Amino acid sequence: MKKYILDVQLPNINKRLSYYIKSERDIESGSLVDVPVSEKSYLGIVESSKEFIGQENLSELKFVNSIYEKKFFNDDLYKLYKFICEYYFVTPSSALKLFPSFNMKLLSKNKVKISKKGQEVLECSLLFSDNLKDLLEQLNRREYDLSYIKSKYKDTFRYALSERLVDMVSETNIRNDKANLDLYKKADEIEKYENLSILNDEQDRAFKYFKGYLNRNSELSLVGTTGSGKTEVYLKLIVEVLKKGKNAMLLLPEITLATHFVDMLEKRFPNLVYVWHSQLGKSERNKLLNIITNLTEKIFIGPRSLIFLPINDIGIIIVDEEQSENYKQDDFIRYDARILARERARYNNCPVLYVSATPSVDLGKRILDGEVFSYYLSKRFGEFSLPKINIVKRNNFYGSFSEEFINSLKEVKEKKEQAIIFVPRRGFYPFVSCADCGELVKCKNCDVPMCVHVIKGKRVYVCHHCGYKFTTDPVCKKCSGLNFKQYGAGSQKITEELKNIFPDANVERIDSDSVNTYSKLKAVLKDILDGKIDFLVGTQIITKGLNFPKINFVGIPFLEPLTSIPDFRSFEKLYQLLVQVTGRAGRYSMGGKVVIQASEDQVPIIRKYTTISYWDFLLEELELRKDMFCPPFSYEVMFRWNGKLTEVKDEAKKFREILKEVYVLFENRDIKVTAPKFCPILRLHGNYRMYSLIRFKDKDVRKDFLEILLKRYSPKNKKIFIVDVDPLYYF
DNA sequence: AGCACGCCGACT
DNA sequence: GTCGGCGTGCTC
């Protein structure tokens, strides 16, 4: 046996630690190992190893506890981890935290048994404490669980271990777990799923087109009108992948909303579907993690974090609803699962398939550039036409319903169909201002207006950012006035109004206030499916994936003023929203109908966006972005400081000086810099905020630039500074 | 990165 | 006299 020294990266220590291991062969980088740190043991990753020759200094390093099989953290995950470090400029330790593998406990039972030395010591009755004697005598009878021995003997056990009086035994026993026996299915059984979906000609052509790409790495995209049956096409592709003995990964933006989709899949593919979501308990998670490493020919479904699971033999990665912003994580590490999916597909030499009715402009450009191979479904499945869209002009943004709107709802009620009413904001009144001077009531911690909610029949002022609440009317900060005017409408108010107008209708609301638990959501979704709900009011949450047969009407009482978010993606978001929301209507029958109420200045753009094709929209949007040097024509990085005013200002100033220095090194490299300035929302959670945005023509230049910049600039207090590569939110 | 240790200011 | 702030230093 040779001895090796391993450099190990742990998810909780920002420094590599070295350990010894005895092994016949060299240890590969990327191996998952269990190592001791202080008195505990942690999982880490081997970054490098070298053979140790000589005997000196042995006592300085500890030994690796155990080395995991490759499947628990395969090479593709190691590459993904390296990619995240480089692309997002984060420390190795924080990047590792993204991977559930490091929170995994092997389901094997760790046992303790007495060693030869221990037996000898016991037989000879050498001097030892009573505790130690008890321990050794107990273990001399049989093995015991590590956890039991640890809790009973603590320090004595540690001493016994260090003196090698006891040995640890571990056995991985997952394959024999009775509950998991049925998880191993033969590939030939899968063929019976092949003909479960009946595709129309167009879908079949799409399927055949993509089938040709299954054996290699490629970026694919399935674009199609809402209700064109994109799901059926990719399900059939999944079956193809399973037939090859490989796994399929399916990413969804919101797994909790997709319960009935998941139920459908489970019914259709019994024993083949595995769902990963944040609601899973610790032990369930752990069990799943242990099991999935052994599986092939399975379908794994989950939100963006699915991309980090130790799934082996991946044959396809599908990103459904590609346009969704949910794929970008907006705290901790600001990764984009769409980018990571692309990377992971490359490491697995398999395709990644983006699916959307309205692909992000970024993807759209790459389709036009020929980087992504796309197939377009133009017809609605079952020949149902797209809903008829009616735009009703109104003189203000908010308020209630036009005759048209109410009549449509009446019709829905009479026909015993269902309606969705989309409201952009939650709460009762989004704004309250002083009746005398007009000053908005704002949160004391944040630079945003307080909204009025009704909680248990009582009026409550709530801040949507920090959650700060108060119940009594405030005093105007500007003029000390006591009279307030509330205006606008949120989902709660719209719900109440509808209940008043339609006393015998069942009006239900879905937003983060009314539905805050998984079980509640499930109950509401079931009620919709069972036809118990007539009108469903909801915020953004209802725009994706709610496909219910009886929904034939979608109403939008008002849309927010277009100018409220000064952001180059506003048009993209509006377009996607309109297509997604209106697409909920009439998916399974004729005569779908949509009524959108809008202010006069909104009408032209809404009219345009509800009639224009995705491709025409894309071309127009690309033109605008090109002129403005916006993504996808540039690559962005944003820096933001969050903290006390003086601290933030000082740091931003320091940054500015360093930025200038680095910029000089990169002259004439197509870089556009926005020097640090205050954010449009000056304060959040009691912290002042500043930002700086840099745009690069070239992705590699961005990388080089950042490398130098971040080497020279590091804030005193790391907590106040964030780097956001490819930001989606700028406020 | 987290956690422990340690050295100084505002409280019973 | 104590609680608690966050500066420094360590983990193989």
Residue A473 and residue A440 in one domain: yes
Same domain flag for A333 and A404 = no
The pLDDT assigned to A368 comes to 98
Torsion sign (Cα): A399, A403, A404, A408: positive
- 3-class SS string, A52-70: CCCCCCHHHCEECCEECCH
A60 touches strand C (CB under 7 A): yes
Residues in A 19-58 whose C-beta is less than 7 A from nucleic strand C are 19, 35-38
Protein-to-nucleotide distance from the CA of A535 to the C1' of B1, whole angstroms: 49
A18 touches strand C (CB under 7 A): yes
A437 is in an annotated binding site: yes
**C1'-nearest nucleotide to the CA of A97:** B1
Q: Is A463 one of the annotated binding-site residues?
A: yes
Separation of CA A88 and C1' B4 in angstroms?
Answer: 31
Identify whether residues A668 and A571 lie together within a single domain. no
What's residue A127's pLDDT?
57
* Contact between the CB of A12 and strand B at under 7 Å: yes
Is residue A52 included in any domain, yes or no?
Answer: yes
Residues A476 and A368 in one domain: no
Ligand-binding annotation for A679, yes or no, is no
CATH code of A95's domain: 3.40.1440.60
Q: Cβ(A475)–Cβ(A518) under 8 Å?
A: no
pLDDT recorded at residue A126: 66
User: Domain tally for chain A?
Assistant: 5
Q: Report the greatest alpha carbon distance in chain A.
A: 97
Q: Phi first, then psi: what are they for A359, rounded to 5°?
A: -55, 150
CB of A362 closer than 8 Å to CB of A324: no
- Write down the pTM of the prediction: 0.89
Q: Mean pLDDT per 10-residue run, chain A (731 residues)?
A: 92 92 91 88 93 71 89 95 96 94 70 77 72 78 71 71 69 40 51 75 96 97 92 95 95 87 89 88 85 92 96 97 95 95 98 97 98 94 83 76 93 94 93 92 91 93 90 90 90 94 95 85 89 94 79 92 76 94 84 91 93 96 97 97 88 94 93 95 90 97 95 86 93 80
- Closest nucleotide relative to residue A63's CA, C1' based: C12
Question: Is A354 inside any structural domain?
Answer: yes
pLDDT at A271: 86
Does residue A56 lie within any of the structural domains? yes
Any idea what the CATH number is for the domain that residue A698 is in?
Answer: 3.30.70.360
H or E segment and range at residue A199: none
In this structure, the answer to whether residues A614 and A493 fall within a common structural domain is yes
- Residue A42: phi and psi, rounded to 5, are -135, 160
**In this structure, are A59 and A105 located in the same domain?**
yes
* N-to-C CA span, chain A: 59
* The two three-digit tokens of residue A100, written as one number: 């559930």
Beta-carbon contacts of A655 under 8 Å, excluding residues fewer than 6 positions away, are A639, A676, A692, A713
Q: Which nt is closest to the CA of A14, judged by C1'?
A: B1
Nucleotide nearest A39, CA–C1', reads C11
Q: Is A479 one of the annotated binding-site residues?
A: yes
Point out the nucleotide closest to A37 (alpha carbon to C1′).
C11
* Structural domain boundaries enclosing A57: 2-174
pLDDT at A81: 97
Interatomic CA–C1' length for residue A318 and nucleotide C7, angstroms: 49
In this prediction, residue A421 carries a pLDDT of 95
Residues 6+ apart with CB under 8 A from A174: A107, A108, A180, A290, A291, A294
Nucleotides of B under 7 A from a protein CB: 1-2
Q: Is A275 part of a structural domain of the chain? A: yes
- Are residues A414 and A458 located together in one domain of the fold? no
A436 and A423 share one domain = no
The Å distance, CA of A66 to C1' of B4, is: 28
User: Is any atom of nucleic acid chain C found less than 7 Å from the CB of residue A13?
Assistant: yes
Can you tell me the distance from the alpha carbon of A102 to that of A642, in angstroms, rounded to the nearest whole number?
Answer: 30
Q: Are residues A406 and A275 in the same domain?
A: no
* pLDDT score for A587: 78
- A618: domain CATH number is 3.40.50.300
Residues A7 and A47 in one domain: yes
| Strand B contact residues in chain A (699-718), C-beta within 7 Å | 718
Q: A351 with A247, same domain?
A: yes
The nucleotide closest to A10 (CA, C1' atoms): B1
Domain boundary among A174, A209, A240: A174
Q: Is A451 marked within a binding site?
A: no
CB < 7 A to strand B: residues 62-101, chain A: 91, 93-94
Q: How far is the CA of A95 from the C1' of C10 (A)?
A: 22
Residue A179 lies in a domain: no
A185: in domain: no
**Strand B atom within 7 Å of A15 CB:** yes
Å from A408 (CA) to B6 (C1')? 72
Pair A22, A163 in one domain: yes
